Structure 1
C-alpha cells in the first residue's frame, strides 16, 4: 500500500513526473512496435497497461513498465515463425500465466543475488547507450527506432557507425531544436528557479517539448528549409472515429493453444521479460532516494497480470524498463502515482489528441533522454566504483562494455558471471586459515576451518592436505564452523590414512557434529 504521507508530500511532483515519463515512453512504445514487426498501436497498448495495471499492482513505488527492446527480437522472430500476430498474443498470455506461477513459487528472490557491481554497471551502460543512440535523433537521423539497446541495428549499421553516418546527414532544423531543448531543461532545473512553484511543478521536459513545437511552427512561417517532416516527429496512429479506434486492438488466436511453438515462444518471453523486470526492480531500488525494498515476487505477479491483459487486447510483452524508471526518478517520481499517471495520460492523449502529439519533434525528446542518460553514467559514478577496488570495478566496467557491444540481456549474463567469479574465488580462498607453531620441538600446523566450507572449497583443501610435510603435528579445527560439506569430511577422513604413512600426528576438533558416519571417529 502507498505510504499516505509520501503520497501527499509528493503528489504534485509525481503528477509532473508522470507527464515527463509519458513524453519519453510514447515514442519508445511506437519504436518498439516497429522493431517487433507488430501493429503500431500494440506498443501503446502495453505502455498504457504497464502504467495503469502493473503500476497499481506492483509493489514498487518507482518502477515504470511497458514494452521493452529486449523482447522485440523475440516477437519479431515469433511473428515470422507463426505467420500471424494473433498467435504471438496467445504466447504473451501464457507468459503472463507463467510469471504469476513463478511469483507464487517465490522465484523473484533470485533478484537478491544480482551483484551490486553488475547493477551499477547496467545503469551506467544504459546511460551511455541512451546518449549514443539518441545522437542520431538529435541531429535529425531517425532511421533507427527509439529505445534500441543492442549494438547492431536493423538498418545494417551499429551504434558507432551510425554516428559517422550522422556527420553527412545532419538536419539543421532538428539540431537547433535539440540544443534549444537542452538549454531549456538545464536552465529550468536550476535550484534558483525551482524555488518558484511554477518551475517546480511544470516539468522542464514539457516546457522543452512545447517550445520545440513552436520552433518548428516558426520554421514553417519563416524558414521553410528547416521544417521537420513526419519522419522527425512522433508518429501516432489517428483514428477517424470510435469504430476505427477499436480496430487498433487485436485478439489472440486461442485455436493455436495446441501448437508446440506457442509454448516455446511463451517460455522465451517469460525468461527475458522476468529477467529484465527483476533487474529493473533491483536497479530502481538503488535509484530510489528513500531506498525502499520492493517484493520481487509481487513484481513478477504484477508483470504476469499485465502480460495477460496485454495479450488479450493486442499488446506487446511488458517488462519493467530501466530507462523509464530512471526517467521517473530523475523527474521527481517518488510513489506509484507517477507510474499510473503516465499510463492514464497516454490513454487519454492517444484516444483524444493524437494529432497534437504527432507535432512533437523527436529531437526535443532526445534532449530529455540526454539528461536522463547523463545522470545514469556521470563521471562521479565511475570514480566511486573505482575506489571500491578491482573486485567491484571489473564486473562494473565489463558489464558496461558488454552491454555497449551486445545487448542488455547479454550484459546481465556476462556481468553477473564476472561478479559471481570474484565471489566464488574469495570463497575458495577463505574456506580455512592456517597457522604454524612449534610444539615441544616439533612443527605444528593448525588448519582452522571457516564458518561455511562448501563443495567449492574441495580442491583447495585437498591440495593443502596433500602438500603437508612429513613428521609434523597437524590440527584440523572445525569448532567455529556452521556448515561443512560432506565431501570435505570425506577428504579429511581419507587424510587419516595419509597422515599415518607420512608420520603426521593428526588431531581433529569440532568435526563430530558434521559427520553422520561413526567410522570417522573410530580409532
Structure 2
C-alpha cells in the first residue's frame, strides 16, 4: 500500500531533477500541438482559436490537476466526429460550449462514481474499429484541402446525405477548383511526413527531436512566401490560409474568447451532446492514459478516477472560455516522453508556450497554408486506419474482424456513438456465441461394454448454456456412463446446475450411471467437499446394487 501511495504522489509533484528532459519534451510537444490544434478545430467545424484554447487548457489546467506524470492533454482527432455532430445539431457554437461545460461536469461525476475502469468493458476490436473509422473520416475530409478547396462545405462529414452536399460532390467541386500551389505544398508535405517515419530520420541524433509537423508547417509558409514574392497572383491567400483573430492589444486578447450560451440550459439536445462528448472524451482519455503509463520508463501508474476528474475540470474550463473538448493525447504524450520528459513540467511548459505563441505570434500562425495542415491530418488518419490494422484483426479471427469492420462501417454511415453501439452489439453476439460453444466439451470412449461420455464443463457456464445442456443430456443413450467434470469451472449458473440435477431421475429410469468428478459450482452456496464425496459414493453404491 505504501508503495502505491508513493508512486501516485510522485506523479502529482514536480521533480526538478529532470528539468532538461522536461523542457525538451515540453518544447517538442508544443511544436506538434500548434498545427494539430488548428487542424482539429478546422476538421471539427469550430473556430480555429477554439483549438488553441483547448490546447492551452489541456496543458495548464489539466496539467495542474492530473496525477499523471507524462500525459499531455488537448484537442484530439478522436473527438472530431462528436464535436462536429454536436455543433451541427445545436446550430450555434456558444450552445456547443455549454454542452462542453456540462460534459466536463459529467466527467467529474464519473470520477467520483469511480468509473475509471469503464474502458475495460469495451472489446479491443470495437476500440480499434472506432479509431480506424475516425482515421478514414479524417482522410476523406482532408482530400479537398490538399488540392486547395477550402470552402466551408469541405467540413461536412457524412458520406451520404439525402439532400444537398455529399462526399462525391465535395470531390467534384475540389477538382474544379484545383490550386497548383496548394497541390505542391501538399505533395511535398506528404513526402516529408512519410520520410520522417523512416528509421534514418527517427534515429538521427538531431532530426529525431524535430517533429515532422513543424517541418511541414515551416515548408508551407516558405513555399507560399516564395511564390508571393515571385508571382503574387498565384500565392495562397484568404481562406487558403489560417485565419486566427489578431488582438491589437493585450486587453483586446481577452475579447477574442467566446462564452457559452447559458440561455440554452433547457435545450434537451445540449444534454444529449454533453453526454456524447463526456463518454467519448472519457474513453479516449482512459485509453491514452493506459498507453502513456506503458511508455513511462519509471512505470508509474495513473489513478484513472482522478484522471477523469482532471479531464472534467479541463473540459469545464475549456467550454467556459471558448475552447473545443479536450482529452489526453497519446501522440503528444509519446513525443514528449521520447524527447526526455519525466514529469508533468513538460505538460505545463507545453501549455505555457501555446499561450505565449497565440498572444505574441498570431500573424505567423496566419501564414500557415491549409494544405500543410491537411497533410498532417491525413497522415494522422492513415496511422489510425492503416492496412496493417485490418490485416491484424483479420488474422485474429472473424470474432475480432467482423465487430471491427462493423464498427468502422457503422461510424462512416451514421455517427461515432451509433457506430460504437452497433459494433458493441456485433461483438456481444460473438462473445455469447463463443460462450455457448465453449460451455462444455464432450469426450466419448468405450470401457468394456458400456459407453462412457465425459462432459467437461468450461470455466464460466452461464444460463445461455442451458438449452445446449438439455439437448446433450436428452441425446445420451441408455445404459451409458456419464461423467460430468466441473474441475475447471469457476462458475456454473444455477439453471444449468438444476438441469443436471433434474437429469438424475431420468438417468435412473434409463439405467444411466451419472458421476460427478466435482460438484458444479453455481451462484448458490458452495457445497463442502466432504458432502460432495459422500454423495458421489452413495450414488455409486446405488448403481452397483442395481
TM-score (norm: length of structure 2): 0.79
Match of residue 29 from structure 1 = 41
1:15 aligns with 2:27: yes
Match of residue 499 from structure 2 = 491
Match of residue 66 from structure 1 = 75
Q: Alpha-carbon deviations, 1:101-160, whole Å to 9, x = none?
A: 211222221202322233333334433333332121111111358887654589944445
SS at match of 2:178: coil
Cα 1:30–1:337, aligned 2, differ >3 Å: closer, same or farther?
A: farther
Q: Alpha-carbon deviations, 1:391-446, whole Å to 9, x = none?
A: 33333333333334444333333333333332322221111122223345222322
Structure 2: tracts of 5 or more residues without a match: 1-9, 540-546
SS at match of 2:488: coil
Cα 1:294–1:498, aligned 2, differ >3 Å: closer, same or farther?
A: farther
Moved more, 105-114 or 340-349: 340-349
Tell me the distance in 2 between the aligned counterparts of 1:309 and 1:179: 38
Structure 1: tracts of 5 or more residues without a match: none
SS at match of 1:108: coil
Cα 1:60–1:146, aligned 2, differ >3 Å: closer, same or farther?
A: farther
Cα 1:477–1:348, aligned 2, differ >3 Å: closer, same or farther?
A: same
Which of 413, 419, 424 is 1:411 aligned to?
419
Root-mean-square deviation over aligned CA pairs: 3.8
Match of residue 355 from structure 1 = 363
Cα 1:480–1:186, aligned 2, differ >3 Å: closer, same or farther?
A: closer
Q: CA deviation at 1:454?
A: 1.7
SS at match of 1:59: coil
Q: CA deviation at 1:517?
A: 10
Q: Which residues of 2 match residues 91-130 of structure 1 at below 5 A?
A: 91-130=99-138
Tell me the distance in 2 between the aligned counterparts of 1:214 and 1:248: 28
Which of 231, 236, 240 is 2:244 aligned to?
236
Match of residue 279 from structure 2 = 274
Tell me the distance in 1 between the aligned counterparts of 2:333 and 2:520: 56
Tell me the distance in 2 between the aligned counterparts of 1:369 and 1:307: 23
Cα 1:497–1:159, aligned 2, differ >3 Å: closer, same or farther?
A: farther
Tell me the distance in 1 between the aligned counterparts of 2:87 and 2:350: 27
Q: CA deviation at 1:311?
A: 3.3
Tell me the distance in 2 between the aligned counterparts of 1:384 and 1:273: 30
Check conservation: 2:186, 2:371, Cα contact below 8 A.
Answer: yes
Q: Which residues of 2 match residues 33-182 of structure 1 at below 5 A?
A: 34=46, 41-56=49-64, 57=66, 59=68, 61-62=70-71, 64-66=73-75, 68-73=79-84, 75-76=86-87, 79-80=90-91, 85=94, 89-144=97-152, 150-151=158-159, 156-182=164-190
Check conservation: 1:139, 1:170, Cα contact below 8 A.
Answer: yes
1:318 aligns with 2:345: no
SS at match of 1:409: helix
SS at match of 1:481: coil
Check conservation: 2:25, 2:335, Cα contact below 8 A.
Answer: no
TM-score (norm: length of structure 1): 0.83
Match of residue 444 from structure 1 = 452
1:465 aligns with 2:473: yes
Q: CA deviation at 1:334?
A: 7.2
